Structure 1
Amino acid sequence: MRNIVFDLGNVLFKFDPDEILDGLFKDPLIKRKLKEAVFKTSIWKELDRGTLSFEEAKKIFIEKNPDLKEEIDILLKDWKNYLHPITENIEILPELKENNKLFILSNFHKEAFNYIRGKYSFFDIFDGMIISYKEKLLKPEKEIYQLLLNRYNLKPEETFFVDDIVENIMAAEEVGIKGILYTDPESLRELLKRIGAL
C-alpha cells in the first residue's frame, strides 16, 4: 500500500493569478499593480498560514494601495471563482484509490479552501488532509511534512508527494518522502504507473 499525497494549487486545481486578473480586469497596468499588491505579498502567505483573517488581509491590502481599493474589493470577492479542477488529474483519483491511500498537503487559506471543499465532492475520496491555514505551517517548512507523517502514521519510504514547485518537493525528500514534480497530466499518469500506483 502506497500513500499518494497531492498538492492542490496547479496540481488538482488551476491557480493562475494572470488568468484570474485577465478575467476580472481589462487595463494591463491595473492587472500588473494588483499582481504585485496582492498575490506577490507576504500578506498572501500569511493568509495561507492562517495567521491573518481574510478581512484583516483585505484591510492591509487597501491601506497599502488606497488607489486600488475598488479593484481589490472586486479581486478578493471573485478570485476563488477561478479555481477550477484540473479534470484529468481528478479523474485518476478513483483509480488510484483502489490500491493506495490518498492525502492532500497544500498551502491554502481558509475562505478559498472552504469554498472548493463545499463545491466539489471528490474531496471525500481522500484519507486525510493537511491544509496550511489550519496548522499555521507552510510548505516548504519541514514541520508540515513531519506533521503529515505523524498524524496519519505514514512511513516516508511508502509516501509519494506530487507538487508543482521544486522547493516543496526537495523539502519533502529531506524527511524521506519521495517527490513527484508535477508538470502536466500525461506525465503524472506515466510517473504514477512507473511507481506501480496505477
Structure 2
Amino acid sequence: MQQIQNIIFDLGGVILNIDYRRTENAFKALGVQNFNELYSQFKGNELFDNLETGKVSRETFVSELGKYVQPGTLDEDIIAAWNAMLLDFPVQRLQILQQLKNQYRLFLLSNTNAIHVDVFNDILMRDRGLPSIAIFFEKAYFSHEVGMRKPNSDIYEYVLNENGLKPGETLFIDDTLPNITTAAALGIQTIHLQAPKTIADIFKPKD
C-alpha cells in the first residue's frame, strides 16, 4: 500500500450491505416470476442500464415495470420492491472510511440510480445521523449522474482524468469481477472483494 495515494470504492456490497434476493422476492410477490431475466447483479436489460445511466426517469422506469406486475399494483409498491435490496451501513465500515480520509484521497464510484440514492442516504441518516455517503469522499461518482457505468472503461478514465489520478497510485475496490477486470486493464491496482470478506479485512480500524 506504500505507493497507493488514492482509493476508489464501490458502494453496494463494499460499503452498503445489499441483498438482491430481497428485491427479486419482492417482485415475485408482485407477480413478476421472471425477474432474473429482467435484472441481475451483473448485467441488466436495457431498461435497467438506462436507469443507471440517467437515460430514463424514475417515472418511466416505474411505468415500464408496471407492465410486468399484477394488475392494480401501486407505483409505491414497485418502488418499495426495487429498494428492498438496500440494507444498512455497518458502522465499522464508516469508521474505516473516516480514518482513511486522513491518509488517502478517497472516491466513490457506484452504478446506481436516482431512486436508490435517495433511499440509501435516508438509511444513512436514519441509522447513523449522517446526511449523505458523499461526506466520506473527495467526490462521489454515481453512474446515473455522469451518464456512464461500470464496467465500461470511460467511467474509470473520467474519474482518473478529472482528479489527476495516476492509475498505478490508485486502488479500486469492487465486489463485481467485470468491474475489477476493466480497472486492472487500465493499470489501476485492484481488490476484488468477495464475501464473507469485508473492507474491515483489508483495513483494520485503529483504536
Using structure 1 for the length normalisation, give the TM-score: 0.81
Q: Look up the match of 2:127.
A: none
Change (3 A) 1:69 1:103: farther
Q: Secondary structure at the match of 1:70?
A: coil
Q: Distance in 1 between matches of 2:71 and 2:193?
A: 35
Q: Distance in 1 between matches of 2:136 and 2:77?
A: 33
> CA offsets per residue over residues 155-193 of structure 1, 9 Å max, x none?
111111110111100101111111110114745334446
Q: Look up the match of 1:17.
A: 20
Q: Distance in 2 between matches of 1:71 and 1:95?
A: 43
- Contact 2:96 2:203 (C-alpha < 8 Å) held by counterparts: no
Q: Distance in 2 between matches of 1:132 and 1:69?
A: 32
Q: Distance in 1 between matches of 2:61 and 2:86?
A: 20
Report how far residue 127 of structure 1 moved. 0.6
Gaps of 5+ in 2: 125-129
Task: Give the counterpart letter for 2:189 in structure 1.
Answer: K
User: What is the 5 A alignment of 1:53-68?
Assistant: 53-63=57-67, 65=68, 67=70
Report how far residue 135 of structure 1 moved. 1.0
Gaps of 5+ in 1: 194-198
Q: Distance in 1 between matches of 2:49 and 2:140?
A: 19
Change (3 A) 1:11 1:190: closer
- Contact 1:62 1:69 (C-alpha < 8 Å) held by counterparts: no
Root mean square deviation of aligned Cα: 2.8
Q: How many pairs are equivalent?
A: 190
Percent identity between matched residues is 27
- Contact 1:145 1:172 (C-alpha < 8 Å) held by counterparts: yes
Q: Distance in 1 between matches of 2:176 and 2:87?
A: 19
Equivalent of residue 138 in structure 2, options 95, 116, 127: 127
Report how far residue 67 of structure 1 moved. 3.5
Change (3 A) 1:69 1:14: farther
Q: Distance in 1 between matches of 2:36 and 2:73?
A: 15
Report how far residue 129 of structure 1 moved. 1.4
Report how far residue 72 of structure 1 moved. 6.7
